[in-house]
């Protein structure tokens, strides 16, 4: 048996999530059964969607169970195997959750997948070449569907989804404008990720100021918008979007604490004949191979240079997660477990 440290959801938040919602638990991993593998996690992923699942309210997925390991993506290596297709030392990606080890039934399709780290770092399979990257790909390619010369805008531009979105949009010939918090993040978005412009929302704190900034950054208007945040930024975008614009609605982090987020001018949707589509990337597994192939190529070639914020050790996960919800991370938020 192997000693395993885990983070459980101990109680549900009331309003803003806090560290006391979580509990550190120590247990032993069970003995393997036939077909199972023991994975030692090298990194685990922290993502904004996890906040919504901490609530008990109805959503696209069942709530995170109380008294159970917080769910989430992981990468690591096989340290014990009772499955013929997996050997000790294989690097894998899975959904092992907030813990140091996981026992996985490797015969279940998609439960664990071997990955090649020759040209793509292992941690990238939780970011640019994982769920966040495919999220960016689906929203851009399948919903916004830009043509060369279109202007596209994305919130949370310096994060895991935003960085992938920028690279994917640039290779399609778009003008790409990001929105991020702080001068350092905006500088990274333009200088390292290659966006054409980046707006600092900390300098434009209401819809009118943001609308003016968007007017300057998007002189031909906005053709496609990838929404991660909601709130006044969404209101501002609706004042600058072109007729027949397309909006990929991925996240609404401004409302994850349960506050309502009414639109100031929903008539703009009708006036501009907008297409707005919400999506959950795990419901579109058919596109993952194509998306991952392109994203892996962009990382391997250096056209996509994602940044990571890395917390050290399982005990650091709750505070790192709470920081993510407040935009304290810079790039993809990970926890390093070895």
DSSP state of 30: P
Neighbours of 308 (CB within 10 A): 19
Helices (H), the chain: 49-54, 131-137, 160-170, 183-191, 207-217, 232-240, 267-271, 288-301, 317-325
Burial (CB count within 10 angstroms: exposed 0-12, middle 13-18, buried 19+), residue 3: exposed
Cβ–Cβ under 8 Å, residues 58 and 67 = no
Break the chain into its structural domains and give their ranges: 3-126+307-336, 131-282
pLDDT tens string, the chain, 338 residues long: the values are 799 999 999 999 998 999 999 999 999 999 999 999 999 999 999 998 899 899 987 777 789 999 999 999 999 999 999 999 999 999 999 999 999 999 999 999 989 999 999 999 999 999 999 999 999 999 999 999 999 999 999 999 999 999 999 999 999 999 999 999 999 999 999 999 999 999 999 999 999 999 999 999 999 999 999 999 899 999 999 999 999 999 999 988 776 666 778 899 999 999 999 999 999 999 999 999 999 999 999 999 999 988 999 999 999 999 999 999 998 999 899 999 99
For residue 285, give both structure tokens. Answer: 């597994």
DSSP-derived secondary structure for 89-126 = T-EEEE---SBSEEEEETTSTTSEEE---SSS-GGGGG
Alpha carbon separation from 109 to 106, 283, 296 (Å, rounded): 7, 15, 22
> Alpha-carbon torsion 268, 273, 278, 279, what sign?
negative
3-126+307-336 and 131-282, same CATH topology: no
Tell me which architecture the domain covering 131-282 has in CATH.
3-Layer(aba) Sandwich (3.40)
User: Where does 3-126+307-336 sit in CATH, by number?
Assistant: 3.90.180.10
Distance CA 221, CA 242 (A): 6
């Amino acid at each position: 048996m192997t000693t395993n440290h885990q983070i459980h959801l101990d109680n549900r938040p009331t309003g803003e999530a806090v560290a006391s919602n979580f509990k550190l638990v120590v247990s032993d991993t069970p003995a393997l059964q036939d077909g199972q593998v023991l994975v030692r996690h090298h990194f685990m992923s922290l993502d904004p969607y996890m906040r919504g699942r901490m609530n008990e309210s109805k959503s696209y997925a069942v709530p995170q169970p109380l008294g159970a390991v917080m769910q989430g993506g992981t990468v690591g290596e096989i340290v014990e195997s009772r499955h013929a297709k997996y050997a000790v030392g294989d690097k894998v990606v899975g959904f092992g959750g907030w813990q140091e080890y996981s026992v996985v039934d490797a015969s279940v399709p998609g439960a664990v997948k071997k990955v090649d780290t020759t040209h793509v770092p292992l941690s990238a399979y939780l970011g640019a070449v994982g769920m966040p990257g495919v999220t960016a790909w689906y929203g851009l390619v399948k919903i916004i569907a830009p043509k060369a010369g279109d202007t596209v805008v994305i919130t949370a531009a310096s994060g895991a989804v935003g960085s992938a979105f920028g690279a994917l949009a640039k290779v399609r010939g778009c003008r790409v404008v990001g929105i991020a918090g702080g001068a350092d993040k905006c500088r990274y978005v333009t200088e390292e990720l290659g966006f054409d412009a980046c707006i600092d929302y900390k300098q434009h704190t209401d819809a009118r100021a943001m609308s003016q900034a968007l007017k300057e950054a998007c002189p031909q208007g906005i053709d496609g918008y990838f929404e991660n945040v909601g709130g006044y930024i969404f209101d501002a975008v609706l004042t600058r979007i072109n007729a027949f614009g397309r909006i990929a609605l991925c996240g609404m982090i401004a409302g994850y604490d349960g506050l309502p987020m009414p639109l100031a001018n929903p008539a703009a949707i009708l006036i501009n004949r907008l297409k707005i589509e919400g999506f959950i990337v795990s419901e579109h597994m058919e596109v993952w191979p194509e998306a991952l192939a392109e994203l892996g190529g962009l990382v391997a070639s250096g056209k996509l240079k994602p940044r990571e914020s890395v917390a050290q050790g399982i005990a650091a996960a709750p505070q790192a997660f709470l920081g993510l919800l407040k935009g304290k991370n810079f790039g993809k938020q990970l926890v390093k477990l070895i």
